[in-house]
């Protein structure tokens, strides 16, 4: 059965075995996948839950203001209420695109 992608299109299921499975295509995940894949005998799978970084504001320096707390590019996480903050919670921006937090 095909799996839906983050853009609604279906992709065929992944078959086979991999030497390494890297979850998260942020800066570290992409770098690690690149380094591991330099050996042609090594099979590397890089998985990213978010989509491509095609949102125009990602590529503009001041655009981070439009990417944080935006469900298109951010997971929109909140901390639990903190006693040291008088019970307030904080936004915890985490990138939901290829490139991860370095993209937002």
* Count of CB atoms situated within 10 Å of the CB of 66: 16
Among the listed residues 70, 65, 78, the one whose alpha carbon sits nearest the alpha carbon of residue 96: 70
Q: For residue range 10-36, list pLDDT tens digits in order.
A: 777 777 899 999 999 999 999 999 999
Q: What is this structure's pTM?
A: 0.72
**Bridge partners (DSSP) listed for residue 9:** none
Structural domain total, the chain: 1
Categorise residue 24: left if φ over 0, alpha if ψ from -120 to 50, beta otherwise.
left
Please give the Cα distance from 104 to 85 (Å, whole number). 25
What percentage of residues in the chain have a pLDDT greater than 70? 90
Give the C-alpha separation, 67 to 76, whole Å. Answer: 10
Please give the chain's pLDDT, 104 residues, in tens. 445 555 556 777 777 899 999 999 999 999 999 999 999 999 999 999 998 889 999 999 899 899 999 999 999 999 999 999 999 999 999 999 999 998 88
Bridge partners (DSSP) listed for residue 81: none
Structural domain of 40: 3-103
In whole angstroms, what is the distance from residue 31 CA to residue 12 CA?
Answer: 25
Q: Distance (Å, rounded) from C-alpha 104 to C-alpha 55?
A: 10
């Amino acid at each position: 059965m095909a799996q839906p992608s983050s853009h609604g299109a279906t992709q065929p299921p992944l078959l086979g075995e991999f030497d390494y499975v890297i979850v998260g295509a942020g800066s570290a995940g992409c770098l690690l996948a690149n380094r591991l894949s330099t050996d042609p005998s090594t099979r590397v799978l890089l998985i990213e839950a978010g989509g491509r970084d095609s949102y125009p504001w990602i590529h503009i320096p001041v655009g981070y203001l439009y990417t944080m707390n935006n469900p298109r590019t951010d997971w929109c996480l909140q901390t639990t209420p903190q006693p040291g903050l008088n019970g307030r919670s904080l936004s915890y921006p985490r990138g939901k695109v290829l490139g991860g937090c370095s993209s937002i």
